[in-house]
Amino acid sequence: MKSVIAENLVKTYRKGEVKALDDLSLDVEEGTVLSVLGPNGAGKTTTVRILATLLSPDSGHATVGGIDVVKHPDKVREIIGLSGQYAAVDETLTGWDNLVMFGRLYHLGKKASIARADELLERFSLTDSGKRPIKTYSGGMRRRLDLAAAIIVKPKILFLDEPTTGLDPRGRQEMWGVIKELVDGGVTLLLTTQYLEEADHLADEIVVIDHGKVIARGTSDALKKDVGGERLEVIVEANQLKVTAEIITRVSGIAAHVDEGMRSVSSPVKNGTKSLMDALREFDEAKLHPLDIGLKRPSLDDVFLALTGHAAEETK
Amino acid sequence: MNFISDALVITKRQLLQLSRVPEVLIFSTIQPVMFVLMFRYVFGGSISTDQPGGYVQLLMPGIFVQTVAFTLAGTASGLAEDMGKGLIDRFRSLPISRSALVVGRTLGDSLLNIVVLIVMGIAGYAVGWRPTGGLLNTVLAFVFLLAFGYALSWTGIFAGLAARDARVVQNISFLITFPLTFLSNAFAPTTGMPRPLQYFAEWNPVSTMVAACRDLFGLENQFGATAGSFPSEHPLVTSIFYMFLIMAIFVPLSVRKYANKSK
């Protein structure tokens, strides 16, 4: 069962000048996590806004939980949770005030809203700060509260638009923990991110988009396989680059790639550990001491580079 | 039914905001009180009037109208701020009626106006303002002031939704409300103005509101322009017409702007 289906979405801004979505299609299987990965301006937020009924597509068709987002936006709003790029909460109010207010707006009733607010604050480790205005929160706490507001009525389908953008590593780790818990609870999640590591960490499946188009989709492993398998990489002193390249070429059987700036020599290898041991032996015999040597699995950065010809975080 | 309770939740949010940041309420009452004192004691002496009880009788209706008109800047910037922070998007992703948010907001602004008008009434009384139109007419005048403020807050809603930045919209609101309140009969006789401005002042909704309030407070409508013109003969009718006109234009515009999904 597909919980989210988007078919051939097109959205242009400024009377057609800017094409945000260019025939974009994707779907999310019930109970799984799909990560929409792409650089700034790729169309991630536009996709989420259309699926969350905040924006109408120029053309194309989308259903969420089997309901058409354009024809029955009110029904879609009853079953989704949305947490956007910015913490969309009232900063002058306390965390508790916000959660109770949103509970009331979901028509939970006063008692149920209060109970749910208390429960969510505890679950997201915000009980102590619940009575403080959100202005005083750290970035990570704001995002957690924003996420809490999105799941007040336990939506089955959740949209998170760049949930960790701008957070420090610790805030990101905490956010990931909270998201994982939700996913374990069976929620269907569509998550956008420009962090490759995040998609790798959280998603069952990844859709890579660029310029409003899907350019690749698959599991993290499958995408990495597209780029090639493991690489043997050695970092050496600048004057040893040449002899190192000879060794690596001999071990891998493929002409080694030399990056003079990084002082690295690398080559794809089929049998990783054996190649690594062979290389170490040769370095030892040649009395060379590489600064670093290891097997590198391709990262999603490599995937993006291979697919688009530019790095993921460069384009603005 | 849900619509009303949703709107009230939004109104309650605004009251909570006021309780968390009481400075907002304090400053939005101090400012008009300051105006009362300044006009009363700075201009009061130099503007000659044969009004029994003095200039302050004519001044207070003017300041009441000005104050309710000024609150639309707060409406507009508050809403623009919510837009900028993505809060409006969150509200729009909730299963609530499209107009609940904006209606709730206008109700909250009216509550703020009630508080401000009460404080100003007390301040006015302290400096010699004495309405003589009877209790019923006095209460009626305040009801009309609130209604006028409510109608105007819809222009603030529209401006807030249309704007991109909270500070810009606040400045724009003042740029409109300042001339509107001063190019009127609120503080000084319009007869000293150049002829075209006199016409403007005569038909200005602020003038008709002020004139209507002066009537209800039991005053001769001084400072009004040419005798015999429709707005000066029927200020209350004209004012009510203006209120309906403003709402007829800005309520649908605002609700549509809010619901407009292709922003």
pLDDT tens figures, A42-78: 899 999 999 999 889 999 999 999 999 999 998 999 9
Q: Is B1 in the A-facing interface, judged by CB distances under 8 Å?
A: no
Å between B259 CA and nearest CA of chain A: 9
Give the burial class of A78: count Cβ atoms within 10 A of its Cβ; 0-12 exposed, 13-18 middle, 19 or more buried: middle
Rounded Cα–Cα distance for residues A61 and A57 (Å):
8
Residues of A in contact with B2 (CB under 8 A): 107
Q: Which of B201, B155, B156 is nearest to B182 (CA)?
A: B201
pLDDT one digit per residue (tens) for chain A, 316 residues: 899 999 999 999 877 788 899 999 999 999 999 999 988 888 999 999 999 998 899 999 999 999 999 999 989 999 999 997 776 899 999 999 999 999 999 999 999 999 999 999 999 889 999 999 999 998 889 989 999 999 998 899 999 999 988 888 888 898 999 999 999 999 999 999 988 888 888 999 999 998 899 988 998 888 777 766 778 888 888 888 888 888 888 877 777 788 877 788 888 777 778 888 888 888 888 888 888 888 877 776 677 777 776 655 544 3
Q: In what order do the strands lie in the sheet with A231-235?
A: A257-259, A264-268, A231-235, A292-296
Rounded Cα–Cα distance for residues B34 and B116 (Å):
12
- Please report the DSSP string for B29-48 in residue order: HHHHHHHHHHIIIIITTTS-
Residues of A in contact with B16 (CB under 8 A): 93, 97, 101
Rounded Cα–Cα distance for residues A60 and A25 (Å):
9
C-alpha A254, offset from chain centre: 34
Measured in Å, how far apart are chain A's first and last C-alpha atoms?
36
CATH class of A230-296: alpha beta
Chain B residues 82-111 within an 8 A CB cutoff of chain A? 85-87, 89-96
Query: Which of B9, B91, B261 lies at the smallest CB-CB distance from A104?
Result: B9
A230-296 shares the fold of A2-225:
no
Dihedral sign (CA A78, A83, A85, A90):
positive
Interface test with A, best of B16, B25, B93 (most A CBs within 10 A): B93
Multiple choice CATH, A2-225, 3.40.720.10, 3.40.50.300, 3.90.550.10, 3.40.50.620: 3.40.50.300
Residues of B in contact with A130 (CB under 8 A): none
Query: Which of A49, A90, A105 lies at the smallest CB-CB distance from B6?
Result: A105
Which tokens in the block code for residue A84? 């956007």
Domain ranges in chain A are 2-225, 230-296
pLDDT tens figures, B136-194: 999 999 999 999 999 999 999 999 988 878 888 888 888 888 899 989 888 888 888 88
Q: Is B132 in the A-facing interface, judged by CB distances under 8 Å?
A: no
Rounded Cα–Cα distance for residues B24 and B68 (Å):
15
Structural contact between residues A180 and A24, judged by C-beta atoms closer than 8 angstroms: no
